[in-house]
A and B are shown apart, each in its own frame.
Chain A
Amino acid sequence: MRREERLSDLRATLAQRRRGLARGWYKFSRNPLSVLGLVVLTLIVLAAILAPYITPYPGHARAYTNFADASQPPSATHFFGTDRVGRDIFSRVIFGYRFSLLIGAVVLAIGVAPGVILGLIAGYHQGTWTETTIMRITDVFLAVPPLVLALAITAMLTPNLMNQMMAIALVWWPWYSRLVFALASSLRNEYFVREAELTGASKFHIMFKEILPNCLAPVLTKMTLDMGIVILLGATLSFIGLGVQPPKPGLGTMVAEGAKRLPGEWWGTIFPALAIVVVILAFNLVGDGLRDVFAVEEV
C-alpha cells in the first residue's frame, strides 16, 4: 500500500517535470533565432566530436606540408582553400572547434563551482566578516578586465592550452560569486529560509538544499552566454600567441597566421574568423532563448 502510494507520487512528479520541460521547450521554440542557434550549435558540436571521421583531410590538423597544394583559393576539393604549407583550412577549422569547445567546457567546469559556492556562502552570511572577506576578494579579481588578467597569468606561466584554461578559469569565478551573492542575499530573507532556520536545519542544508536550487536557472543561463564569451577569450589569447600553439589548429591561431598573408590569401583569415563569430553567435542566441524560458533578468 505504502509502496503503491510512493510510486504514484513518483509518477506524478515525473509527469509534472515532463510538463515543465514541454512548456520550457514551447517557450524556447517560439523564438526562431534561438532555435536556429540551437541547430547550428548542435551541428558544430557534432562536427567537432566526429572531426577525424567527417573532415576531408584529418591529417592536416597537425604539422603537415604539401607545397604542391599551397595557397590554393577555395574550391570543390578545398572548401575554404589551403594555407601556405598546403593544409586544408576547412578541416583545420573543424578541428579548431574542438579546442574552442574544450576551452569553454573546461573553464566553466572548473570556474563555476567555486564561484557559486563562494557567492552562496557570502550571500547567506550577509553583513558578516565572511561576506566582506569573500566579496572584497571578488572585487580584486574584477578590478581589471578578464582578458588582461588572463593574458598576464598565462604569460607568466608557460603559454599553452592547459595554462590558458587555468588562467581563464581563475578570472572567471568572480562573475558567478557576484551573481549568486546577489541572488542568495535576497533569498536568505524569504520565508522558506526563515522557516528552515526555525526548524533547526543545518547551515549546509539551508545553503545547498534551500537556496542553491533557486539560483540554478540564472546560473545556467549565464553559463550558456558565457560559453560564447569564454570561447571568444580563448580565441583572443590564441590570436595573441598565448594560447593554442601552432601547428595545432586553434581558431585564433589560424586567424593570426592568416592575417600575415592579407590581402592576397584572404581565405586563410576570413574563414577561421567567421567560424569564431558563428559559434559565439550560436551560444548567444541559445542563451537568450534560455533567458526567456527561465524569465531571468539578473544575468
Chain B
Amino acid sequence: MLTFIGKRLFQSLFVLFGLSLLIFFIARVMPGDPARAALGFLATENQVEQLREEMHLNDPFPVQYYYWLRNLLHGDLGRSSYTHRPVTMDLVQYIPATFELILFATLISAVVGQVTGVLAGFFRNSWFDGLSRLVSYLGIATPSFVVAIFLLFIFSQVLKLAPGVGRLPIMMTPPPTITGFMTLDSLLAGRPDLALTALKHMVLPAISLAVIHIAQEGRITRTSIVENMQKDYITVHKVHGIRTPRLLFKYLLKPSIIPTVTVMGLDFAFLMSNAFLVEIVYMWPGFSRYAVTAMLNKDLNAIVAVVLVIGLTFAMVNLLVDIIIMGLDPTVRLRRGGG
C-alpha cells in the first residue's frame, strides 16, 4: 500500500514538473517583454533593463527556468503585474472562497447524483429513469455559464427566491478572516445569522457548478447499479428474502459507488475550471475570478501560478481518490500489491 502511494506520488511530482516546464516555456516564448509589461509604459529604459536583469530575462531559457523553479520552491511566484502584490499573497487571499464554493458544490452533486442514480437504476425504465436521462442529456450539453445565468435570472431576478451576486450583501460587514470560509468564519465569530446568509448566497453558484456533475455521476451510478443488480449474489440475497431497503443500502450501494468516486476525483478539477465561469457570473471574489482577471490583463506570473495551483490540486485529489478506492474495493487493494 505504501509502495503504491509512493509510486503515485512520484508520478504526480513528475507530471507537475512537466507542467511547470510547459507553462513556463509558453510564458517565456511569448512575444513581448515581461519586464516592460510589469513596469508599465512610464518606466525608463534603465529601470526595465534592471528588472530584466533581476528576472534573469537576459539569460538562456534553462537558466531562467532554474531560477524560477528555485523561487517557486521558496514559495515565491513573482509579482502580479495587475495587483502589484506577490502572487502567493493573492492566492492565499482568494483560494478559500473558491474552495468553500467547490466543496459545497461537490457535496450537492455527490448527494443528489447518488440518490438520482440509485433510484434511476433501481426503478429502471420508469418515468423517473426517463426524466433523469433527459435532465442528464441537457446537463451535459449546457455550458456552466449558461446554467449560472439562467439560475440567476430565474431564481434571483424574476422569482426573487434567492439572493443575488457576491458572498454577502454589500451592507453587511464580513466576519474577521480566520479560515477564509465565510460560513465557518461567521460561526467562529459567533454570528450564525451571518453564516446562514453566506450559505444562502452560495446556493445558486454551487448548484450552477454541480449540475453537470449531478448529470454525469447520476448516469454512472445508474449504470453500475443496473450492472450489479444482475449479479448472482443479489439474486441469492433476494431468494433469502432480504428486504429491498437493506439490499439497496447494504449490498448494492458499496460496489456501485466505486466508479462514482473515481469520477468525483476528476470532477473536482473540472469544478475548479467551471468555477472560472460561475465566479464571473456571480461576482464571487475567489481564485477563479482572480485567474480570469489575470488572463484578461496578460498577467504572466499570475497565469503561471494559477495553472500550477490547479495542476497541484488535481494531482492531490486524484491521489486521495486512489487511496479511498483502495479502502472501498478489496480487489484493488490486493491487485496493487498492498495486501
Interface centre among A137, A155, A252 (most CB of B within 10 A): A155
Could you tell me if B146 and A145 are in contact, using CB atoms closer than 8 angstroms?
Answer: no
Could you tell me if B295 and A155 are in contact, using CB atoms closer than 8 angstroms?
Answer: yes
In the complex, B128 has a CB within 8 A of chain A: no
Contacts known (A239-B145, A280-B141); A144 close to B303, Cβ less than 8 A = no
Contacts known (A149-B307, A156-B30); A276 close to B146, Cβ less than 8 A = yes
Could you tell me if B157 and A228 are in contact, using CB atoms closer than 8 angstroms?
Answer: no
In the assembled complex, the Cα of A156 lies from the Cα of B23 at a distance in Å of: 10
In the complex, A162 has a CB within 8 A of chain B: no
Q: Which residue of B lies closest to A266 (CB)?
A: B153
Neighbouring A residues of B294 by C-beta, 8 Å: 155
In the complex, B264 has a CB within 8 A of chain A: no
Instruction: Offer 19 A-B interface pairs, CB within 8 angstroms, sorted by A.
Output: A136-B14, A143-B314, A144-B19, A144-B307, A147-B274, A151-B276, A156-B27, A156-B30, A239-B145, A240-B292, A242-B296, A255-B145, A262-B152, A262-B157, A263-B157, A277-B142, A277-B143, A277-B146, A281-B141
Neighbouring A residues of B292 by C-beta, 8 Å: 151, 240
In the complex, B277 has a CB within 8 A of chain A: yes
Binding site for A on B (CB under 8 A): 11, 14-16, 18-19, 22-23, 26-27, 30, 137-138, 140-143, 145-146, 149-150, 152-153, 157-158, 269-270, 272-274, 276-277, 280-281, 291-292, 294-296, 298, 300, 303-304, 306-307, 310-311, 314-315
Could you tell me if B303 and A152 are in contact, using CB atoms closer than 8 angstroms?
Answer: yes
In the complex, A71 has a CB within 8 A of chain B: no
Could you tell me if A139 and B18 are in contact, using CB atoms closer than 8 angstroms?
Answer: yes
Could you tell me if A140 and B18 are in contact, using CB atoms closer than 8 angstroms?
Answer: yes
Contacts known (A137-B18, A240-B295, A263-B158); A269 close to B23, Cβ less than 8 A = no
Interface centre among A143, A228, A239, A252 (most CB of B within 10 A): A143
A144-B19, A270-B150 are known contacts; what are 10 more A-B pairs with Cβ within 8 Å? A143-B311, A144-B310, A145-B273, A148-B306, A148-B307, A151-B291, A151-B292, A232-B143, A240-B280, A284-B137
Neighbouring A residues of B11 by C-beta, 8 Å: 139
Neighbouring A residues of B142 by C-beta, 8 Å: 277, 280
In the complex, A241 has a CB within 8 A of chain B: yes
In the assembled complex, the Cα of A250 lies from the Cα of B306 at a distance in Å of: 26
Give the shortest distance, in Å, between A228 (CB) and chain B (any CB): 7
In the assembled complex, the Cα of A237 lies from the Cα of B291 at a distance in Å of: 13
Could you tell me if B143 and A143 are in contact, using CB atoms closer than 8 angstroms?
Answer: no
Could you tell me if B146 and A155 are in contact, using CB atoms closer than 8 angstroms?
Answer: no
Interface centre among B138, B141, B269 (most CB of A within 10 A): B141
Contacts known (A155-B298, A276-B143); A144 close to B311, Cβ less than 8 A = yes
Give the shortest distance, in Å, between A262 (CB) and chain B (any CB): 5
Could you tell me if B269 and A145 are in contact, using CB atoms closer than 8 angstroms?
Answer: yes
Neighbouring B residues of A266 by C-beta, 8 Å: 153
| Chain A count of residues within 8 A CB distance of the other chain | 42
Interface residues of A in 154-185 (CB under 8 A from B): 154-157
Give the shortest distance, in Å, between A31 (CB) and chain B (any CB): 13
Could you tell me if A148 and B146 are in contact, using CB atoms closer than 8 angstroms?
Answer: no
In the complex, A107 has a CB within 8 A of chain B: no
In the complex, A273 has a CB within 8 A of chain B: yes
Could you tell me if A145 and B137 are in contact, using CB atoms closer than 8 angstroms?
Answer: no
Binding site for B on A (CB under 8 A): 136-137, 139-141, 143-149, 151-157, 228, 232, 235-236, 239-242, 252, 255, 259, 262-263, 266, 269-270, 273, 276-277, 280-281, 284-285
Give the shortest distance, in Å, between A294 (CB) and chain B (any CB): 19
Neighbouring B residues of A140 by C-beta, 8 Å: 15, 18-19, 22
Could you tell me if A148 and B273 are in contact, using CB atoms closer than 8 angstroms?
Answer: yes
Contacting residue for B276 out of A148, A270, A276, A285, CB 8 A:
A148
Neighbouring B residues of A146 by C-beta, 8 Å: 273
Neighbouring A residues of B295 by C-beta, 8 Å: 151-152, 154-155, 240, 242
In the assembled complex, the Cα of A273 lies from the Cα of B151 at a distance in Å of: 13
Contacts known (A145-B273, A156-B27, A277-B138); A269 close to B298, Cβ less than 8 A = no
Could you tell me if A273 and B146 are in contact, using CB atoms closer than 8 angstroms?
Answer: yes
Contacting residue for B15 out of A143, A145, A276, A285, CB 8 A:
A143
Give the shortest distance, in Å, between A279 (CB) and chain B (any CB): 9
Could you tell me if A148 and B272 are in contact, using CB atoms closer than 8 angstroms?
Answer: yes
